[in-house]
């Protein structure tokens, strides 16, 4: 799943513009409306997306300068930032999203080629992973606004990469599965596959959304016939 981080930044720009357009169309007071995420309002989701951009800007700064700049300065800073900002009006939220994205885009543009190889402690990955991490946050949380945007709107390349990431990152709590995304020649597998392992087939977007907890999987088929197996919460 290696890809040029600057190529991914184009996808981040486009995904962020789509998210902002959705946010701009929200009615006054929508920041207080419930989102599909338990315990979170739309204001919580929008504030989290903005603060996530700033947190990833910190990581790019660390990679570029070599000066330790953790994603969040304290263990509680992430939650505190969301709590402090979720009640702001929609126009304030939209402005914050734009400004946070601009800071992140500027930080990415300032990265020399060698800085993308910098190993980020605690992440176990290089800085080249950061644009994908940002794209994933924007696309998945756009769905979490519970408005017009759904997993059906995810770009093909994003949906496939998300699906592959979830599959490769599955731990021992995940059930063994054979996944057959439409249009993909070879199946993807989770866990120790046997003759009795269920096969789940359907569109790539639907499989990714189901495994990510963003869709019920109503358009997926199971073989042998039966209910979709329960999968652990994806984080």
What is the tens place of the pLDDT at every residue in 47-89?
A: 999 999 999 999 999 999 999 999 999 999 999 999 999 999 9
Instruction: Write out pLDDT tens, residues 151-177.
Output: 999 999 999 999 999 999 999 889 999
**Class of the domain covering 158-223:** alpha beta
Place 124 in a pLDDT band, splitting at 50, 70 and 90.
Answer: confident
173 half-sphere exposure, CB direction, 13 A CA radius = 6
State the pLDDT at residue 192.
Answer: 92
The answer to whether 35 touches 51, Cβ cutoff 8 Å, is no
User: CATH assignment of 5-149?
Assistant: 1.20.120.450
Q: What is the mean pLDDT of the chain?
A: 95
Mean pLDDT value of segment 130-152: 97
100/162 Cα distance (integer angstroms): 23
Q: Fold match between 5-149 and 158-223? A: no
From the number of C-beta atoms within 10 Å of its C-beta (0-12, 13-18, 19+), residue 43 rates as buried
Average pLDDT over residues 124-142: 97
Complete edge-to-edge strand list for the sheet that includes strand 177-181: 188-190, 177-181, 199-202, 221-223
Angle subtended at Cα 100 by Cα 26 and Cα 209, rounded to the nearest 5 degrees: 60
> Could you tell me the pTM of the whole model?
0.95
Domains of the chain, residue spans: 5-149, 158-223
């Amino acid at each position: 799943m290696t890809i040029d981080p600057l190529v991914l930044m184009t996808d981040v720009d486009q995904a962020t513009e789509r998210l902002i357009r959705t946010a701009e169309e929200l009615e006054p007071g929508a920041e207080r409306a419930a989102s599909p995420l338990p315990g979170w309002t739309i204001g919580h989701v929008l504030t989290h997306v903005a603060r996530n951009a700033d947190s990833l800007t910190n990581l790019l700064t660390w990679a570029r300068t070599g000066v330790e700049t953790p994603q969040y300065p304290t263990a509680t800073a992430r939650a505190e930032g969301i709590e402090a900002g979720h009640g702001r009006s929609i126009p304030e939220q939209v402005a914050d999203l734009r400004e946070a994205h601009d800071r992140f885009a500027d930080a990415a543009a300032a990265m020399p080629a060698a800085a993308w190889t910098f190993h980020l402690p605690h992440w176990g990955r290089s800085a080249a992973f950061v644009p994908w991490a940002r794209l994933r946050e924007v696309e998945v949380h756009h769905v979490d606004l519970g408005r017009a945007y759904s997993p059906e709107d995810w770009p093909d390349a994003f949906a496939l990469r998300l699906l592959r990431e979830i599959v490769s990152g599955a731990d021992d709590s995940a059930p063994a599965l054979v996944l057959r995304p439409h249009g993909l020649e070879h199946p993807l597998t989770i866990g120790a596959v046997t003759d009795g392992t269920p096969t789940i087939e359907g569109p790539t977007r639907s499989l990714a959304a189901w495994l990510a907890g963003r869709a019920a999987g109503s358009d997926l088929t199971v073989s042998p016939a039966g209910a979709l197996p329960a999968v652990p919460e994806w984080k």
